[in-house]
Amino acid sequence: MHQKYKKYLYKPCPLTNLIGKEMVHLPQCDSTNRVAMDWAQQASAKNGTVIICDHQHCGRGQFGRSWESLPYKNLTFSVIFYPENLALDNLFQVSMQVSLAIVDALVTYVGSGLAIKWPNDIYFKKQKIGGILIQNSIQANKVSHCIIGIGLNVNQEQFINERAVSLKLITGKEIPLTDLLNRVLFCLEQNLFKSNSAELYNTYVDRLFGYKQWRYFMINHEKIRGQIEDIEESGKLGVRIGSTKKYFEYGTIKFVFE
């Protein structure tokens, strides 16, 4: 192993009662989401089990994209979560809870400048610092389990994508991965069990990148000016364009950065 890599030992989270109490640490794997999904289906995995790996070589992103992460530099992990009575119509709730948890955890390190780019990209100013991939299993019209995959750019200093940033690039400091992981798991536990949906929604839109701002979007290959007005319960983005409001599914609208 090259000396510049610091190896971490991930232990059950000391700050939580459920999330991360069971910690499965793999030196490498294709995708922690894939491993977590198998784990959740085969074994009776405990609620809140975390699968984390040092080197994820086939990380999955949203929309079939990939998630690149240098070994030992970042956090790549998945949480197996069995929600109680989560109806299919409320799936977006988990997405909001997880995004807010990550922002809460990162605020400690960077202060202001964090935002959630709809639906659940974590941004610092105009650059992406983290991504979330939630994969759900459905049984009898209810969500039986969610695999919450989280990738955070922590100590990596170079990225191919110019719109990516890490905590180290922002703060100038090396961040111990174990401390950050515990912080994120703590914030997840704080957020995942919140039941006040109005409060959740209000906090989410408060953190939403571009909320109530007139800005440009790409819609059907066309650059269009619009303003994010609200989010439907299903998670669709409500954007005012001229005198009408339209709702967009993920993938049908893109932010234009200027």
Look up residue 98 and give its amino acid: V
Shortest CB 56 distance to ligand BTN, Å: 6
How many angstroms separate the Cα of 104 from the Cα of each of 10, 74, 83, 192, 241?
21, 18, 21, 13, 32
* 67 interacts with ligand BTN by CB under 6 A: yes
Q: Which residue has the tokens 């990596």?
A: 156
Instruction: Please give the sequence-ordered ranges of beta strands (E in DSSP) within 100-141, or none if there are none.
Output: 114-117, 121-124, 127-139
CA distances (Å), origin 215, targets 48, 101, 208: 39, 27, 14
Determine if 10 is a binding residue for ligand BTN (CB under 6 A).
no
Site for ligand BTN in 44-63 (CB under 6 A): 56, 59-62
**Residues facing 77 on adjacent strands:** 52, 150
- Is 253 a binding residue for ligand BTN by CB under 6 A? The answer is no
- Where does this chain touch ligand BTN (CB under 6 A) — which range of 6-14, 17-25, 76-84, 189-197? 76-84
**Cα 98 → chain centroid:** 6
Q: How far is the CB of 109 from ligand BTN (least distance, A)?
A: 19
Nearest position to ligand BTN, beta carbon: 131
Under rule CB under 6 A, residue 133 binds ligand BTN: yes
C-alpha distance from residue 38 to each of 41, 62, 72, 80, 126 (Å): 5, 19, 24, 10, 35
Binding residue for ligand BTN, selected from 32, 95, 153, 155, defined by CB under 6 A: 32
**31 sits near ligand BTN (criterion: CB under 6 A):** yes
Confirm or reject binding of residue 119 to ligand BTN (CB under 6 A).
Answer: no
Under rule CB under 6 A, residue 40 binds ligand BTN: no
Residue owning tokens 């953190």: 207
Residue 25 or residue 225: which is nearer to ligand BTN going by CB?
A: 25
Residue ranges that bind ligand BTN, judged by CB under 6 A: 31-33, 56, 59-62, 65, 67, 76-78, 121, 131-133, 149-151
